[in-house]
A and B are shown apart, each in its own frame.
Chain A
Amino acid sequence: MSQASVLYDLPGPKARRRNAILGVASIAGIVALLAYIGWKFYETGQFEARKWEQFEYAAVQRELLAGLWATLKAAGIAAVLALLFGAVFASARLSDKWVLRAPASFVVELFRAIPLLILIFFGYYVPLQYGWSIDKLWALVIGLVLYNGSVLAEIFRAGINAVPYGQTEGAYAIGLRKNQVLRLILLPQAFRSMLPAIVSQLVVLLKDTALGFIITYPELLFVGKQIGGRLAFGLPYVPTYLIVAAIYIAICGLLSIFAWWLQKQLGRMPRTAAKVLPAQDAGEDAARMV
């Protein structure tokens, strides 16, 4: 171990020996765990060709792609609208006028405290009861926009507030107006500092589209349930969910890596006074991504 750690001193010969023993023991433990899971899979016939063969069919592949498309469509629409929602409410919360600030704060705080699924239910059950026809896509999108838009509004506000106050003072001192201060001085600096946080919130949004499963919106997870529930192929739930999970992990993982890369790039640029809001690696952010 080369990097210095808070908890452990650089190991001497004795500690190195102990760590090596612990390392071997833990590798053995992990291998045993994986072997047990693999054996359990084998024993219950998860590796049988019958359970996997339908993924060779073009029709099933198209089904999966259609599910993925439905997921990405919901995520895409919701992302654009949530960014708009966030921008509007963040600027209202940053306003000097009490009449704008108070209601915006109320809305943002309220929607952050309501479970996302309940917000989606508002868009799903209420129209259903009165017989208004509303697409399930929009029920899902409404919920996603209200919740993630509120979180994004907070990110935007934090980003603007993270620009040191001297910047604002300096801008006013050279005679800029309020509008110009925000547009020319604060936003360009804040935008860069909050970009990684925005991207990781969009990953959260993408993950949350899976809630569409509960209101039977035909997204990836819902399609997975249908493919997994086919008796003719021996109810291949396990293979199907492994494939679906791999797709989610690949997409979200790529976006997460992008956010992390962005943070590193932006951290390197010296031209902004604002500190980069973390995309990953901070507890605060881990908390936001739940």
Chain B
Amino acid sequence: MGEFLRVLTDNWTLYREGFTNTVQLFLIAAVGSLVLGTLLGAMRVSPVPALRAFGATYVNIVRNTPLTLVFAFLVFAVPKLDVNIDYFPSACIALTVYTAAFVCEVIRSGVNTVGTGQAEAARALGMSFAQVLTLIVLPQALRAMVPPMMSVFIAMLKNTTIAAGFSVLEAGAIPAYMAERGEPQFAVLLWITIGFLILILPLVALQRFLERKWRVAR
């Protein structure tokens, strides 16, 4: 047990730096993918066929591509196009581009859960497009969107570890450093696991709470 604790205290700076970068990566990519995903989601439910097709193509391509490949493309191939991006921004972009496809799907299916009759009734009452959207469709759609959206972001938090394979010092990169220091890897990995549980379990609890709270109202 003393040995187990020592692994953390001796390497505290590495753990702190790793998890700080993980959280940073997560927050930047979360905002990025929310913005890009909403944009794509709006395209997929728009009345313009060209935009719908573009959104669908994007989602189908990205959804069937491994995230590791997206990372590899950004880190190894994009510099060959004379576009030079540092490792950390590359990781943010890779996570954003990938996660946006899933955010888009959540938004699209959330909007589709609202019955057509709801909007028809609202229009019959003489509401404008903005009113239908903000007063009728979104309040109902958001309830359906929040739990799966949280699953997407929980998965994205776990996916940040892939950046370790592409020269970003985040939590997933700690074992490689520890291998050089000769620390017992089982303890090292167990501490990383604990770190992720501390980050993820509150999110899971919140998600289940929202799911329970809003199931009744629908």
User: Which of A's residues lie within 8 Å of B, judged by CB?
Assistant: 1, 4-9, 11, 15, 19, 22-23, 26-27, 30, 40-41, 43-44, 46, 113-118, 121-122, 125-126, 128-129, 203, 207-211, 213-214, 221, 224-225, 228-229, 235, 237-238, 241, 244-245, 248-249, 252-253, 256, 281-284, 286-290
Contacts and interface: CB of A to CB of B under 8 A. Distances in A.
B167 to A, nearest CB: 12
B45 interface: yes
A116 B165 CA distance: 13
Closest 4 CB pairs of A and B: A287-B151, A210-B66, A286-B105, A290-B155
A237 B80 contact: yes
Interface of B: 45, 47-51, 54, 60-61, 63-69, 72-73, 76-77, 80-83, 99, 102, 105-112, 114-116, 118-119, 123, 129, 132-133, 137, 144-145, 147-149, 151-152, 155-156, 158-162, 164-165, 172, 175, 179, 184-186, 188-189, 192-193, 196-197, 200-201, 204
A258 B214 CA distance: 33
Contact of B185 (A5, A117, A128): A128
Nearest to B52: A1
B85 to A, nearest CB: 14
A117 B164 contact: yes
A114 B189 CA distance: 11
B186 A118 contact: no
Contact of B47 (A11, A114, A210): A11
Contacts of B132: 7
B54 A6 contact: no
A237 B108 CA distance: 34
A43 to B, nearest CB: 7
Contacts, number: 200
A221 B71 CA distance: 11
A7 B151 contact: no
30 contacts: A6-B111, A6-B119, A7-B111, A7-B133, A19-B48, A26-B51, A26-B54, A30-B50, A43-B82, A46-B81, A117-B164, A125-B179, A125-B185, A126-B186, A211-B68, A211-B162, A225-B72, A235-B80, A241-B72, A245-B65, A248-B65, A256-B60, A256-B63, A256-B64, A282-B109, A283-B108, A283-B110, A286-B105, A287-B148, A287-B155
A9 B165 CA distance: 49
Given A6-B119, A113-B201, A214-B165, A241 B158 contact: no
A248 B69 contact: yes
Contacts of A128: 179, 185
Nearest to B158: A115
Nearest to B59: A286
Contact of A118 (B45, B82, B161): B161
